[in-house]
């Protein structure tokens, strides 16, 4: 595995491999890799001759008071995990390499950002699409892999690719879960014993709501059902419950096509998100 | 020459040619092709195995009250000129093909737009970079060719390519001029005889200002020199005279590096722009 830190050498290396007709799969990450990331890497490994993983903690997507400085960084461990997973190129640029000068253009997400996690994180998705667009321009992969767990991020990126007429395929990989259904997250370690016992209720409630959606419940009924069930946990507070079209993330009482039922729940020391997609 | 109207068939066609290792030169235009465009096409023809020309009158870059509806369109003639110039693919999409749905992201130019032509055309360059970014994503050329005559457009596009880490080479081709120095423009036909006689003064004044710049004149001195000389024409009015860094388009009394001296002059029925670049 090559560890590459500059855009120029990344391009030079990839150019040679592409000239041989090799297909490139790209997994952009912020590092601190866990099983979720590894499942993306494995899928890219299955589909492409060349797998590129980027590790870059993107300052643009952190708001004021958010945890840019304290965001976990462990490049040695990331490097080892990538090597074991058969990655070809680990791209690990500095902030100066990614943003060498003031931006001459700014990208603003204007659809699907005033809902779900976007509501409490203004500008967050502008930072996400900016870094993803730049990384896609650097790697020019055939496909890029994202975790479906970050459903809104995947939606926003898919919509950007469409709006900007990009040819790259955006592949969303399924959420990796514990045996009891809890979505894997680095934040799960911050649950206490009682919270950890009850946390799978997030997912099981979403599954039941999905069944109700299929049997004709309205948006309001579904939101009330999920809220009522999660209120019964009596452990923390609901940050949001929402039911939207996917990937447009538009509220519509008439449910049809692909619909996301999404929840964010604040436990004592961990805010967890989860969702399901339902085909109606 | 192939005339292609959809993005899908453009991509399919180009994919085959690129798989053969062919280099692609791209000339984006709004049609109504003239000698300036042809010089871009000839340069692309010299440098690449495949030449793609797009003809698309981009509604996004026309402001309210501007001439989107009346902008000259003559696709038969454009097609014939492209064919004669040895173009391989003429890409001629509809507005619906280019903008099939509401944009999920918006691109805003934040550097170099509150000066020169940008000052009187708010949003114009946002529309320009949006369509150019989309076209570059569709064609994925090795190089794209623009007329240096539209100096601010070239500057904004070069800066966008840098900010967004794109690999495409942006090539600015020299302004094509009449024998007496007047920059070729489809608007020159709207000059009356007396105006046509005096119009070359725009360029000759810029040339003299360039010499003054090289011998140490300040920004203010250069602007005053150009304004005084053009005022003596007594034919119309100066829209702007400016001296800026290039391609950043920043005003600085200390002149160094590449500097643009630019002018827009309103004759009775034609507004002409011209400029020179000086290396200091």
Per-residue exposure over A82-100, b if at least 16 CB sit within 10 Å of its own CB, e if not? beebebbbbbbbeeebbbe
Whole-number pLDDT of residue A66: 80
- Measured in whole angstroms, the distance separating CA B53 from the mean position of its chain's CA atoms is 15
Taking residues B61-78, report their average pLDDT.
Answer: 88
Distance from CA of A248 to the nearest CA of B (A): 9
Residue B137 neighbours by CB under 8 Å, 6+ apart: A164, A165, A166, A167
> What value does the mean pLDDT take over residues B173-201?
91
Tell me how far apart the alpha carbons of residues B36 and B274 are, in angstroms, rounded to a whole number: 14
Average pLDDT score over residue span B108-114: 93
User: pLDDT tens digits for A168-215?
Assistant: 999 999 999 999 999 988 778 889 999 999 999 999 999 999 999 999
- From A254's Cα to the closest Cα of chain B, the distance in A is 21
Cβ proximity of B59 and B69 under 8 Å: no
Tell me whether residue B200 is exposed, middle or buried, using C-beta atoms within 10 angstroms of its C-beta: 0 to 12, 13 to 18, 19 or more: middle
**Is B30 annotated for ligand binding?**
yes
Q: Can you give the length of chain B in residues?
A: 280
Phi, psi values for residue A47, rounded to 5°: -100, -15
User: What's chain A's length in residues?
Assistant: 280
Which residues of A are identified as catalytic? 37
Tokens 């008071």 correspond to A65
Helix/strand/coil for B202: helix
CB contact set of A11 (below 8 Å; sequence gap of 6+): A138, B167
Dihedral angle over CA of A146, A151, A154, A157, nearest 10 = -150
Half-sphere exposure of residue B265: CA atoms within 13 angstroms, side-chain side: 30
For the cut 80, the answer to whether the pLDDT of residue A133 exceeds it is: yes
**Short-list B43, B50, B48, CA closest to B14:** B50
Mean pLDDT, residues A34-54 taken together:
96
Burial A227-256 (b: 16+ CB within 10 A, else e): eebbeebebbeebbbbbbbbbbbeeeeebe
Reply yes or no on whether the pLDDT at B185 is more than 90: no
Instruction: Look at residue B271 and tell me whether its pLDDT is greater than 90.
Output: no
Q: Which residue of A11, A108, A134 is in closest CB contact with B105?
A: A108
In this prediction, residue A249 carries a pLDDT of 93
CATH architecture, range A186-279 = 2-Layer Sandwich (3.30)
Q: Which residue has the higher pLDDT, B277 or B188?
A: B277
Identify the pLDDT of residue A85. Answer: 98
The percent of residues above 90 in pLDDT, for chain A, comes to 85
Please give the share of chain A, as a percent, with pLDDT higher than 70: 100
Active site residues of B: 37
Q: Indicate whether B253 pLDDT > 90.
A: no
- Any known ligand binding at A176? yes
Mean pLDDT of chain B: 95
Chain A residues touching residue B159 (CB < 8 angstroms)? 104-105
- pLDDT grade, residue A120 (50/70/90)? confident
Q: Which residue of B has its CA nearest to A158?
A: B104
- The pLDDT, as a whole number, for residue B212 is 97
- Looking at residue A253, what is its pLDDT? 87
Q: How far apart are CA A274 and CA A149, in angstroms?
A: 7
**Which chain A residues are within 8 Å of B166, Cβ to Cβ?**
137
Encode pLDDT of B142-172 as tens digits.
Answer: 999 999 999 999 999 999 999 999 999 999 9
CA A120 and chain centroid, separation = 17
What's the rounded mean pLDDT across residues B109-130? 93
Mean pLDDT confidence for A24-34: 95
| Rounded-to-10 torsion of CA A15, A19, A23, A24 | 0
ipTM: 0.92
pLDDT at residue number A67: 79
CATH number for the region B186-275 comes to 3.30.1300.10
Alpha helices in A6-48 (DSSP H): 7-19, 35-47
Task: Give chain A's largest Cα–Cα span.
Answer: 59
* Ramachandran class of B257: left when φ > 0, alpha when ψ lies in -120 to 50, beta otherwise: left
Comparing alpha-carbon positions, the chain A residue that sits nearest to B12 is A167
Tens digits of per-residue pLDDT, A146-176?
Answer: 999 999 999 999 999 999 999 999 999 999 9
CB distance A129 to A28 below 8 Å: no
Say what the pLDDT of residue A102 is.
Answer: 94
Indicate the class that CATH gives domain A2-173: alpha beta
Q: What ranges do the domains of chain A cover?
A: 2-173, 186-279
Same fold, B2-173 and B186-275: no
Residue A85 backbone phi and psi in degrees, to 5: -85, 0
Chain centroid, CA B225 distance in Å: 26
- Chain B residues whose C-beta sits inside 8 Å of any chain A C-beta: 7, 11, 19, 21, 98, 101-112, 129, 133-135, 137-138, 140, 156, 159-160, 162-167
Question: Under an 8 Å CB criterion, which residues of A touch B?
Answer: 7, 11, 19, 21, 98, 101-112, 129, 133-135, 137-138, 140, 156, 159-160, 162-167
What's the confidence (pLDDT) of residue A7?
98
Mean predicted lDDT score pLDDT of chain A: 95
Instruction: Answer whether residue A54 shows pLDDT above 90.
Output: yes
Q: Please state the rounded mean pLDDT for residues B71-84.
A: 95
pLDDT of residue B184: 87
pLDDT value at residue B157 = 97
Q: How far apart are CA A135 and CA A210, in angstroms?
A: 35
């Amino acid at each position: 595995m090559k560890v590459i830190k500059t855009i120029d050498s990344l391009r030079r290396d990839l150019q040679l491999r592409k000239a041989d007709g090799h297909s490139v799969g790209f997994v952009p990450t912020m590092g601190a890799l866990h099983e979720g990331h590894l499942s993306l890497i494995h899928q890219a490994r299955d589909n492409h001759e060349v797998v590129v993983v980027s590790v870059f903690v993107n300052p643009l997507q952190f708001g004021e008071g958010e945890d840019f400085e304290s965001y976990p960084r462990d490049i040695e461990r990331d490097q080892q995990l990538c090597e074991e997973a058969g990655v070809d190129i680990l791209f690990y640029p500095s902030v100066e390499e990614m943003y060498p000068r003031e931006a001459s253009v700014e990208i603003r997400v204007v659809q699907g950002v005033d809902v779900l996690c976007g509501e409490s994180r203004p500008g967050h998705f502008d930072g996400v699409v900016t870094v993803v667009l730049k990384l896609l321009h650097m790697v020019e992969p055939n496909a890029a892999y994202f975790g479906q767990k970050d459903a809104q991020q995947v939606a926003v990126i898919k919509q950007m690719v469409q709006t900007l007429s990009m040819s790259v395929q955006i592949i969303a990989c399924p959420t990796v879960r514990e045996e009891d259904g809890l979505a894997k997250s680095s934040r799960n370690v911050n649950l206490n014993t009682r919270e950890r016992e009850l946390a799978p209720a997030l997912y099981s409630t979403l599954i039941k709501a999905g069944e109700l959606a299929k049997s004709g419940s309205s948006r309001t009924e579904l939101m009330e059902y999920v809220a009522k069930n999660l209120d019964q946990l009596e452990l923390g507070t609901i940050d949001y419950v929402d039911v939207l079209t996917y990937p447009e993330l538009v509220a519509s009482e008439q449910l049809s096509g692909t619909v996301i039922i999404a929840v964010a729940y604040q436990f004592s020391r961990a805010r967890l998100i989860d969702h399901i997609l339902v085909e109606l």
